[in-house]
Chains A and B, each alone.
Chain A
Amino acid sequence: MLRYIARRLIIAIPELLIISFLVFMIMEAAPGDFLDQYKLDPSMSKETLEAMKKELGLDQHPLVKYFKWLSGAIRGNFGYSFYYRRPVSKLIWERVAATLTLSLTSLAGSWILGVALGTFAALKKYSLGDKILTVFAFSFIAIPSFFLGLLLLYLAARTGWFPIGGMISIDHNTMTVWQRFKDLLWHMALPATALTLGSMAGLMRYMRGSLLDVLNEDYVTFARAKGMPERIVVFKHAMRNAINPMITFLGFSISGILGGALFIENIFAWPGMGRLIYQALIQKDLYLVITSGLMSAVLLVVGNLVADILLALVDPRVRLT
C-alpha cells in the first residue's frame, strides 16, 4: 500500500510540472501584463513603469522566469504577488482557512444528505417521496450555482434572517468563543446551503442509480431468499457495493475543494480562495495564478489518490499494487 502511494506520488511530479509550465505559458502568451493597469494612469511616468518592470522581474525571458519560480517553489518560496506585494504562500494560506470552512461544511453536508436521500429514493422506488426527490434533484442539477446564490441573497435581503455577505460580524473580536462560532455559522448558512444543494442533487441521483443497479443483482436476491433481514441485505450487502462508484466521485469533490466556490464566494463576499484566484487572473498577477493553479492540480492528484485508497479499503476485490 505504501509503495503504491509512493509510486503514485512520484508519477504525479512530472504531471504537476507540465501543468505549471502550461499555466505559465498561457499566462505568458497572453497579451499585456500586470503593469497594463498602470499604463493608463497619466501620473505614472515611463521611467517609473520601467523601474517597476525591472523590480517585478517582468523584463526577463519567460523561461528564465519560470525556472526561477520553479527553483524557489521547490524550496517553498512561491514568489511575490505583484498586487499585494506579499509572499504568495502567505496570501493563499490566509484564504485557505475561509475556503475550507465553507467547502468542507458543504462537502460533508452534500455527501451525508446525498447518500442518505439517494438510498431512501432507491429503497422506496417510484413512491411519492422518490418522485419528489427526483423533481428536487433535477431542479437543483439544472439551477446554475450563481442563480441559486442570488436567490438566497434575495431571501436574506428581504427577510433579514441572514447576513447578506462576509464571513464574520464587525464586532466578532469582542465576542466569546461560543458567540464567535454561532456568528460564523450564521454567516455561513446561506453560502453553504447554496453549495450543498447544488452538489447534493447530483450525488443523490448517482447514489439512487447505483443502489438500484446493485439491488437487482443476484446476490441480493439470494440474500433475501435466505431470509436475511432487509436491513442487513441493504446495508451490508447492497450498500457496500453501491458506494464503490461514488468514491471515484469523492475524488473529484476533493479536487474542487479550493476553487469550486468561486461564484458563491463572489456573491456572498466570502473572503476565500476563489475570489483571490479570480482577481489574480484578471490582474495577471503571475505568480499568484501559477501557485494557485498548481495547488488545484495537487488537490486533483490527492483527490484521485484518496479515492483509490478508499476504494481499496472498502472493496476487498480492489488491490493496490
Chain B
Amino acid sequence: MAQNNNQMDFQEKYLSRGQLIWRAFLKHRLGVGALVVLIVLYLMALFADFLSPYNPAEQSLRHTYSPPTKVYRTYKGQRVKAYVLPSLSYVDKITYERTYKEMLFPRRLVIEKPDGTRMTYELGKDGVESFKFSVNRVESIKVNGQWYDVKKSPAITDHFLFNYNEDVLNKGVSRFETTSAVAQEMFFKAYKDRFGLTSEYDIEAVAVTEALDSIVVRKDGKFEMIKGKVIDYDYKTYPIKWFVTSWTGKFLWLFPSKLHLFGVDNYDNNQFVKFYIMGADLFGRDVFSRIVFASRISLSIGLIGVFITIALALVFGGISGYYGGLVDEAFMRFAEIIMSIPGFYLMIMLRAVLPLDLPSTQIYLLIVFILSFIGWAGTSRVIRGLVLSIREREFVEAAVAIGLSNWKVLTRHVLPNTTTYLIVNATLRIPGYILGEAGLSFLGLGIREPQASWGLMLAQAQDVYVITKAPWLLIPGIFIFITVLAFNFVGDALRDALDPRSLG
C-alpha cells in the first residue's frame, strides 16, 4: 500500500498533464471499453471494402429478403469444413407466399437402370458436364375427400429444393400439400366450373406431386437420356473461406483490390450462392456489407458536423464574448432565435425546403451544414460565457499589456482555455449528429439510395409486413445504438478525466 502511494505521488509529480488525463481516463472501465468499441467501428468504416463480402449496391433479385445464410458443418453426418448451400427466395406459385429454400444441385449421381446395371456419374469426371432432370409435375385438389388431378406439366430442371421436392431424388416422387387460403381461392377460381364448386372451402387441400421421369446427362458435348432410379447422390456445397477474392473494391478509397476478409468460394459462379451473415434486403443486397459501408456516412457525419459546429461556435462565441457591445447583442439574439425554433423541426424544415433530388455527396454536405447550423447556437453561448470569465484573468491582462493585438489575445490566450469544455462537449454532441442524420435519412430526407446510411436502412423496415418477414433489417438500429452509447460513455469518462480535481 505504501509503495503504491509512493508511486502515485511520483506520478503526480513527474507525469505531464496529458499523461495524467490519460491515467484518469483509464480508471473508467466503461469509458475505455466504449473507446475500444468506437475504434473498432471507425476501423470498420475505414476498411469497409476489405470487410464487406459483397458490393453494397449489388442486387440479386433471387435473394429478396433472404434470411442470414445457414452455415453447415456436417455433410451426410460427417464433419466437414464450414460450407453454405445455394439458396433461392421466390413467391410460391401455389400459396403465393414469399418462400426461402436452400437448393440441391446434384454433383454425383448413382443411377440404377431398368436392366439392373448401376452407373455413377460425377460432374467433371469422365467428361460429364451437366445434369438435367425431366420432372412430371401434377397439381391436384381434394374435393369431398377425393383427390383429382387438375393440371399436368412436364418440367426440366437442374436443381431441387430442400424441404420441398428433394424426395424426387430420394424416392423418385415428392409431394407437397397445402391448405392455405390463397391456394384454395386460386384453385377455386380456376376449377369451380369443372367440378361444380360453390365455395372455395369445397377445396379441402391442394397438392403438387413431382415425379422423376428421366435424367439428361451431358457428356463430352453429347446428351444422354437415362431412365432409371437414383440410388445415391451427392450435392454441391460451397465452402466459406477467409481472404476470398471476389468483387473489386477500393482499399482505403484508393487501391483497387479484390481481396476481402471472408466470403464463400463460389467455384462455378453459381448465382444462387450467397453468404449473407445478416440477411438480405428487398433487392437482395447484403445487409452486412451495406451496414459496413453505411458506417462511413453515419460515423463521419458526426465528426465533421461537430468540427464545423465548434468552429462556428468559437468564432461567434469568441467574438461576442471578447468584444461585447453591439456585436455581442446581434450574435446572441440570432443564436436565441435559432434556439427557440424546436431543433428537429428546424432541421426538417431546412431539409424539406432545400431541393430533394441532389447527388449523394451534395446531400451529405447539406446534412452536415444543416446539423451544424442548428447546433452552433447552444455551444457558442457557452463559449461566450467562458470567454467572458477568461477575459478578466491576469494572463489575459498581461497579454494585453505586452501589446498583443486583440485577435492574437483571443486566439492564442483566451480560446485555448476553452479546449477542455470543447472536447467534452464535442464528444457528447456527436451522438446527436449521428441521430440527426439517421432521423433525416429515416424520413427519406437524407442520404438516398443506392447509397446506404444506417437511418436509411432502417427506413426499409417501416412496413409491418417487412419487419415480420425480415427482422434482420432492424440490425442497423443496433449499430446506431451501440455507437451512440459508446460516444456517451467516452464523453462521460472524458469529462471526469479532464476535470482538474481528478488529475490528483
Contact = CB atoms under 8 A, between A and B. Distances in A.
A joins B in a complex: yes
A151 B474 contact: yes
A296 B345 contact: yes
B435 A26 contact: no
B485 interface: yes
Given A150-B461, A150-B474, A278-B443, A297 B353 contact: no
Nearest to B477: A147
B438 A144 contact: yes
Contact of B442 (A23, A153, A263, A293): A263
A147 B480 contact: yes
Contact of A142 (B438, B461, B484): B484
A147 B349 CA distance: 22
A108 B73 CA distance: 54
Contacts of B455: 146
Interface residues of A, number: 47
B337 A281 contact: no
A30 interface: yes
A300 B485 contact: no
B471 interface: yes
A32 B353 CA distance: 8
A213 interface: no
B467 interface: yes
B444 to A, nearest CB: 9
Contacts of B435: 144
B295 to A, nearest CB: 15
A132 B425 CA distance: 26
- Main secondary structure, interface of B, reads helix
Contact of B341 (A23, A32, A158, A164): A23
Contacts of B477: 143-144, 147, 150-151
Contact of B458 (A32, A143, A146): A146
B488 A293 contact: no
Nearest to A32: B355
B345 A31 contact: no
Interface in A273-321: 277-278, 281-282, 284, 289, 293, 296-297, 300-301
B281 to A, nearest CB: 15
A105 interface: no
A26 B467 contact: no
Interface of A: 15, 18-19, 22-23, 26-27, 29-32, 138-139, 141-144, 146-147, 150-151, 153-154, 156-158, 164-165, 255-256, 259-260, 262-263, 266-267, 277-278, 281-282, 284, 289, 293, 296-297, 300-301
7 contacts: A15-B337, A29-B353, A30-B354, A142-B488, A263-B443, A293-B349, A296-B345
